[in-house]
Structures are given as structure tokens and as C-alpha cells.
Amino acid sequence: MGTDGLVELDQECWVAFAKYNLLLATMFGVLAVVARTTAGNDLLVVENGALALLFGAVQTYAWLSA
């Protein structure tokens, strides 16, 4: 049983959580690149970039807690 001191989850839950967040971070990163290639979508680029960083950070936290 892995724990980070804040949330009590078993290792399988942390691994599933990390994989889910990896998928989200990848998806928002790809959307940021696609939005960057089209003109006039500056807000969309910033939003997708921020979401990719957020989910990437959560994924890293989940991997370290597993």
C-alpha cells in the first residue's frame, strides 16, 4: 500500500491515476500544438498549454506516490 500522507490509495489506483493523467496531458499538449498552427487562437493555446502542465504535474505526483 502506497500513501503520500494526504490520500490513502493502493498502488494500483495510483498507477491508473498516473496513466489517466498522462493521457490528459498528452491530449491537451497535442491540442495546444494544433491550435498554435492555426492563426488567431492565442487564448486556446494558452488554455491547452496550462491544462497540459496541470495534468502533467498531477501525473508526476501520482507516479511519485505509487
Is residue 52 one of the residues assigned to a domain? yes
Is residue 57 one of the residues assigned to a domain? yes
Residue 29 and residue 48: Cα distance in Å, rounded? 7
Residue 50 and residue 3: Cα distance in Å, rounded? 27
Confidence (pTM): 0.63
Is residue 39 one of the residues assigned to a domain? yes
DSSP state of 1: -
Is residue 4 one of the residues assigned to a domain? no
Number of structural domains in the chain: 1
Is residue 16 one of the residues assigned to a domain? yes
Domain assignment of residue 23, given as a range: 11-65
Summarize pLDDT for 20-64 with one digit per residue, the tens: 888 888 888 888 888 778 767 788 888 888 888 888 888 888 777
Q: What pLDDT score does 14 carry? A: 76
